[in-house]
Structure 1
Amino acid sequence: MFKMILPIFLAAASFTVYAGDNPNVVMVLSSHGQLSADGELSQPGYEFDELAKAYRVFKANGLDVTFASPAGGKPVADKYDSQKPYNQAFLQDTHAVTALNTTYKISAIDAQNVDAVFVVGGKGPMFDLYKHSPLQTLIANVYQQQGVISAVCHGPAALVNVKLSNGQYLVANKRVNGFTNQEEIAFGKKWRPHFDFLLEDKLKDRGAQFEHAGMMLSHVEKDGNLITGQNPFSTAQTATEVVKALGIKPVDLTPNKDDKTMALVKKVMAGDNQAVLSYQQHAQDYDVMLMAMSGVYQLKHAQDEKVVSGAVVLLELTQKQVNHPMLDLSLAQGYIQQDKPHQAKALVEGVIKSHPDNQQAQVLLKSIGQI
């Protein structure tokens, strides 16, 4: 079924529901998203960043791409930044945009003509994809014909009810991952209360071996032809693993700046001093604000000393460039957790000097005095 294709002969991606000479990947999108009369998101849909990142990989490697959704037609994306380079590239691709605006109904897809399924995340899959019977049938059939099944972030919600012909859940006894409970707590406050389940919990309930990295750190799990990515920063790597599983040697692509930044964050969190040096020497190659906010959130949700230590390093690296009291106070709190009250006090006093009305700083300084 799968064909070996040398990069020199790669053709441009096409948008037919039936595969041609190249392997065909069906990119599945939620149909749950809705906009209110004033254009605001009233129901969550799919994650545009993940769509664009994965499509970039598939197109570069010559795959035939089909967009599909439960309802067909134009699905609604969650709020996204159209100025990000990978989103701009997608939006400037007229063929891609046309295909996205006229997605096929999943029920119209013939599994016999599909080599891979890639389920895009976003909060929408937690509302519609997990209970869409035609999608369950498509995934089971493609998997059982030795096709590749993949999903990223909340996309693995589409897998939780898929059963194979032997009556077993597809994910049972498989290594998988997806958006973690910790990530839901940190970033899912708006829609999480409306979910029927948490993704990590449900995958475990189905007998899956849930593997994951730290919060918002890239992680891809591959178990045979089942490939799952943890969060948006795992998207490009997940798509690349799909390409490999189809028997294609992936072309080298320059990493997206945010993915490159989060790859560095992962190394810093692991205590890699070379990663620290890399940032110090080439700070312009990374997204400083993304690194800083990663430090803030890692520290806020830290569950052990190693995470605290990594978060403090991230905050130290970015403090002067960001130059914001919130970052200074977060770093001060990190120092407190590391039993460094003098360093914490100096930072807080600096915030009070420049921002005398900052109540958080006043409270924190008082708490330091009680240590």
Structure 2
Amino acid sequence: MKTKFQKNLAITLFTLICSLGNSAQADNKNILMVLSSYGEKNEQGELIKPGYEFDEMSKSYLVFKSAGTNVTFASPSGGELITDNFDTEKPYNKQFLTDQQAVTLLKQTKSLSTINPNMYDAIYVVGGKGPMYDLAKDQKLKQLIKSIYEQNGIVAAVCHGPAALLDIKLSNGEYLLAGKRISAFTNLEEQAFTKKWQLPFSLEDQIKAQGAQLIKDGLMLNQVSIDGRLVTGQNPFSTADSAIAVVEKLGLATDNLPQFKDDNTIKLVEQFYVDSQAAKQTFETSKQDYSPMLLAMFGVYQSKYANTEAERNVALMLMELTSKDIDHPMLYTAIAQTYLDQNNPQQAINVLKHSKTKFPENEQINILLDEATKS
């Protein structure tokens, strides 16, 4: 039988444990995730105005949730939003869509006009083309960003999300971006990937115009810039690391946060610039951890927009490495074109003759083979 002392000790310990649990819950960090309301579809369900980037939202949310933070979705209009087209079968999107609590929160975004900045430790602006049209000029959002930043909160944005950081003047009269290291979607990336929409301005140019130092990596490579309490990511493949940087800035553990195959694939691309043979071996021995299709597509785009011979060489290596897995005429014509760009027509002819045996009716192969033969 327990003594009175033992009973009192048990009650005290139980009370202490409960208070610690409540304290931990109270200490949970609150993150405001901001999404564009600009997206619109016609009666046929076709996207006629760009919205936010679902992949960026889902990756960021999964990182923040794994870190134990509380996430609030907000937008200029509030309510359910139109997203850019996305693949529901991507693992991170599928994981988000099976989380009913997350889906409900997303369908009920809070209007920016109802947000109290004092409730949040960080604000995180998701990209997509939509922010270039609405978040870039939303004065309520700019006031929220200013307030959270000036109360020592974290301000973060990824891809086109940094458009929301433009024209924000702090209490000292300086632009938020002035003198800061900032990453965002670059002019080269716009040239390569922004085909459907006529954007209202160049994000890269406007960031520079406000006195920021634009920090950029190559086409679609992962670049996250951290300047004090300001975190920005260059493109969709910078999303997870941008979110992780926010978690770290909030003083939370970053161990065991989610990793995504496509992000790891782009990091592998970066290794090809450092040690191509080691990177090649990593891919061949751990192919299940990477996306051959993404490597191939990166090679195709890099070959088209390469500014240096090093970029062209890496592009060629990626395309040839993945041609065993991605047997597609577009890949072969891109390889051949790269050899032509390197003034190596004979190698281009060899590639095209080989690909013609597989795709004899492909018009582009035949046209390029004719050009290579005449060169």
CA radius of gyration, larger in: 2
Give the letter aligned to residue 245 of structure 1: K
CA gap 1:10/1:81 in 2 versus in 1, 3 angstroms: farther
CA gap 1:359/1:103 in 2 versus in 1, 3 angstroms: same
Whether the 8 Å CA contact 2:178–2:211 is kept in 1: the answer is: yes
| Residue number in structure 1 paired with 2:66 | 60
| Residue number in structure 2 paired with 1:311 | 315
362, 367, 371: which one aligns with 2:371: 367
SS of the residue corresponding to residue 66 of structure 1 reads strand
| Residue number in structure 2 paired with 1:354 | 358
Whether the 8 Å CA contact 1:271–1:310 is kept in 2: the answer is: no
146, 168, 176: which one aligns with 1:170: 176
1:43-80 per-residue CA deviation (whole Å, 9 max, x = no partner) reads 11111110100001100011111111001111111101
SS of the residue corresponding to residue 221 of structure 1 reads strand
108, 113, 117: which one aligns with 1:111: 117
- List, as ranges, runs of 4+ consecutive aligned residues in structure 1 with deviation greater than 6 Å: none
1:197-255 per-residue CA deviation (whole Å, 9 max, x = no partner) reads 11111101111100011111111000000000011111110000000101112132342
| Residue number in structure 2 paired with 1:88 | 94
| Residue number in structure 2 paired with 1:71 | 77
Taking every aligned residue pair, what percent have the same amino acid on both sides? 48
CA gap 1:10/1:154 in 2 versus in 1, 3 angstroms: farther
Whether the 8 Å CA contact 1:302–1:308 is kept in 2: the answer is: yes
Shift of 1:271: 4.4
Tell me how far apart the structure 1 counterparts of residues 45 and 364 of structure 2 sit (CA, whole Å): 36
Whether the 8 Å CA contact 1:20–1:64 is kept in 2: the answer is: no
| Residue number in structure 2 paired with 1:35 | 41
Tell me how far apart the structure 1 counterparts of residues 318 and 32 of structure 2 sit (CA, whole Å): 38
| Residue number in structure 2 paired with 1:329 | 333
CA gap 1:71/1:20 in 2 versus in 1, 3 angstroms: farther
| Residue number in structure 2 paired with 1:295 | 299
Shift of 1:196: 1.7
**Structure 1 residue 127 and structure 2 residue 133: aligned?**
yes
Residues matched between the structures, number: 355
| Residue number in structure 2 paired with 1:149 | 155
Shift of 1:275: 1.2
| Residue number in structure 1 paired with 2:289 | 285
Tell me how far apart the structure 2 counterparts of residues 360 and 58 of structure 1 sit (CA, whole Å): 46
Tell me how far apart the structure 2 counterparts of residues 243 and 202 of structure 1 sit (CA, whole Å): 28
Whether the 8 Å CA contact 1:10–1:61 is kept in 2: the answer is: no
Q: CA RMSD in A?
A: 1.8
Tell me how far apart the structure 2 counterparts of residues 302 and 10 of structure 1 sit (CA, whole Å): 54
Whether the 8 Å CA contact 2:67–2:257 is kept in 1: the answer is: no
Shift of 1:329: 1.3
Give the letter aligned to residue 36 of structure 2: S
Give the letter aligned to residue 221 of structure 1: S
Give the letter aligned to residue 35 of structure 2: L
1:247-293 per-residue CA deviation (whole Å, 9 max, x = no partner) reads 11213234211111111112224444211110111222211111101
340, 347, 354: which one aligns with 1:343: 347
Bigger CA drift: 226-235 or 266-275? Answer: 266-275
SS of the residue corresponding to residue 150 of structure 1 reads strand
1:18-62 per-residue CA deviation (whole Å, 9 max, x = no partner) reads x94311110000010112112221211111110100001100011
Tell me how far apart the structure 1 counterparts of residues 305 and 269 of structure 2 sit (CA, whole Å): 15
| Residue number in structure 1 paired with 2:188 | 182
Whether the 8 Å CA contact 1:269–1:311 is kept in 2: the answer is: no
Shift of 1:302: 0.7
TM-score by length of 2: 0.91
| Residue number in structure 2 paired with 1:3 | none
| Residue number in structure 2 paired with 1:242 | 246
SS of the residue corresponding to residue 59 of structure 1 reads helix
Give the letter aligned to residue 234 of structure 1: S
Whether the 8 Å CA contact 1:50–1:232 is kept in 2: the answer is: yes
**Structure 1 residue 24 and structure 2 residue 40: aligned?**
no
CA gap 1:10/1:223 in 2 versus in 1, 3 angstroms: farther
1:315-371 per-residue CA deviation (whole Å, 9 max, x = no partner) reads 111012111121111111222233333221111112233333333223322332344
Report the structure, 1 or 2, having the larger helix content.
2
SS of the residue corresponding to residue 353 of structure 1 reads helix
CA gap 1:151/1:264 in 2 versus in 1, 3 angstroms: same
Tell me how far apart the structure 2 counterparts of residues 271 and 309 of structure 1 sit (CA, whole Å): 13
86, 103, 106: which one aligns with 1:100: 106
| Residue number in structure 1 paired with 2:5 | none
Tell me how far apart the structure 1 counterparts of residues 196 and 174 of structure 2 sit (CA, whole Å): 34
Shift of 1:177: 0.8
1:76-112 per-residue CA deviation (whole Å, 9 max, x = no partner) reads 1110111111111111111111111111111211111
**Structure 1 residue 196 and structure 2 residue 200: aligned?**
yes
Tell me how far apart the structure 2 counterparts of residues 232 and 135 of structure 1 sit (CA, whole Å): 22
Give the letter aligned to residue 63 of structure 2: V
